[in-house]
Structure 1
Amino acid sequence: MSRNELIKAVENAISGFQEQLSLIDANQLNTVPYEGSWTAGQLGQHMRMANSGFVEVINGPVKDTERAADARVEGIRETFLNFGLKMDAPDFVVPEMREYKKDSLVNGLEKVKQDVVKAIEELDLDKTCVAFELPVYGYLTRIEAITFIIYHTQRHAQQLSRIRESLQA
């Protein structure tokens, strides 16, 4: 993917999630829609926590990459866009059960989007990020970390759509 294609994909994914979140009634933002689900507010907070964490990783220490810089992109895409696959978030990005404000979540995601776009524009995307080792995948390159943000966000936009439908039923 070119830098422009990456920027477009990041903007589309995060904006899509923000739009889904904006459509949820403020009175239902913190309502558990069905057993075993997070609230829409918790899901928005999870996205803010996880994606801002990846922004820190992307902007953190790096080393030269000793493989194709995009070698793990396809595996990340296949995993996160497999909506039949159940995953549990690591504890450090599990949002607490509390009252969330929609504007705060949407604005937080907007900052993440701007920060990712800035990284795409300014950084060497072929470098390997060494601040965090992702379970299963290991250390990601910047381009892989950015595609993680894209596919992770798309996955949760799908989940948010299901939450919204359940709340409207």
Structure 2
Amino acid sequence: MPARRSARANGLADGQVPDGTTVFADIPAVVNLNAKLLASLRRAATDAADVGVELELNSGWRSSGYQERLFKEAVATYGSDADAARWVARPGTSVHEAGKAVDIGPSSAAAWLAEHGASFGLCQVYDNEPWHFERRGSAAVDGCPTTYADPTDDPRMQQ
């Protein structure tokens, strides 16, 4: 569930991303990303553009308040904390809050990045979230690590 689909998202200052945003935008969701992640994304976006693919950012850095709101909305949608956690990290555990993850769209761009991202150190992390990417510095040499089924299998998401 990409963050921008949230009906009552917080404002730009908290990490909301307007439709059509690229990794070159000057908004908090982009500029608050980890510097190495952002540099890798921008290199990938430049190469993708050369073949007619535009990487749009659906979500990047998020404030803790925004993450809390997204999680509460996911609980309302999915019916329980456990089911919501398969799609939205609990506040305080999200790598989005640390600026170390992005959600890429449209699906054709996410597919391009899944195929070519390792050469930029960018890897898909979850099987159920083909739009979610994080930087893995060794991916260019070693390839991307095995994905988790969903965030509940990721040890970083445990509280």
Q: TM-score range by the shorter chain?
A: under 0.3
When you count helix as a share of all residues, which structure comes out higher? 1
When you count strand as a share of all residues, which structure comes out higher? 2
Asked which structure has the greater RCO (Cα within 8 Å, sep 6+), the reply is 1
When normalised by structure 2's length, the TM-score is 0.27
Q: Computing the radius of gyration over CA atoms, which structure comes out larger, 1 or 2? A: 1
When normalised by structure 1's length, the TM-score is 0.26
